[in-house]
Amino acid sequence: MKLMSEKRILTKEIAEQFLEDEDSVDDLYVFSSIEDAAAESLSKNKRGYLDLSGLKELSDAAAESLSHSGVYSLNGLTELSDLAAESLSKIKRELRLDGLTQLSDAAAESLSHLGASSLSGLTELSDAAAESLSKIKGELRLDGLTQLSDAAAQSLSRHKGVLNLNGLTELSDSAAKSLANKQFSGDLSVSEDLKGEIVRNKLSDLSDEKEYQSLKEEYNEAEAGRKWEIYSLNHLSNENNYE
């Protein structure tokens, strides 16, 4: 019989049982809150990544413990204290925080140490936060943003991984120029309308025909590679479904 808390609280008893036999408890993502003692127990987890996307709140003490647990998803959180963000920054791989609707500049600076992150619940981003998040080395998803200031676009253009901004509905010419290099390298994901706008904006600045053709070919190659990658992933997924 699987162990489950009636109020969907992840207790120390459940956490200890999970560490002993993960099949003896319900999936951890069904729990909406976690005891500090349970989080401390999960810090000993060696079974792989943990999905705790059902949690609606997280104490600073629990965040410190979970930073050592292998957690990769905390999508249920709608807010995160600066201290909790500082603790979670010890996670050097991806952390999904799509439930957050706002992020302080201090928290953004802490999260800049993550290996990758998804923050698609954010609908606005300060220039300082954009500067911090641009330091994330892996993929960065900010699909909840509909607008981006020129300063934020310039900062995010320096991001080294894939940048997802699929929620953007408009960009100034200055912002489009800042993001152009990421678009041409295949490291930017935006809507088709904005993609065309960025490309046209970049190409219109070129006066040399050879430079124009070279950049156009570079863009087409990047686009072809990206489409092939998507096709390959979909094809592999379909094959697995038939197995």
Ramachandran category for residue 199: left, alpha or beta (phi over 0 → left; psi -120 to 50 → alpha): alpha
Average confidence (pLDDT) over 76-83? 97
Write down the pTM of the prediction: 0.80
Q: pLDDT-derived band of residue 54, with 50, 70 and 90 as boundaries? A: very high
Return d(Cα 15, Cα 198) in angstroms, integer: 49
- Say whether pLDDT at 61 is over 50: yes
> What domains lie within the chain, and their CATH numbers?
1-72 (no CATH), 78-205 (3.80.10.10)
The per-residue pLDDT for range 23-52, each reduced to its tens digit, is 888 899 999 999 999 999 999 998 889 999
Judge whether 184 and 202 are in contact, CB under 8 Å: yes
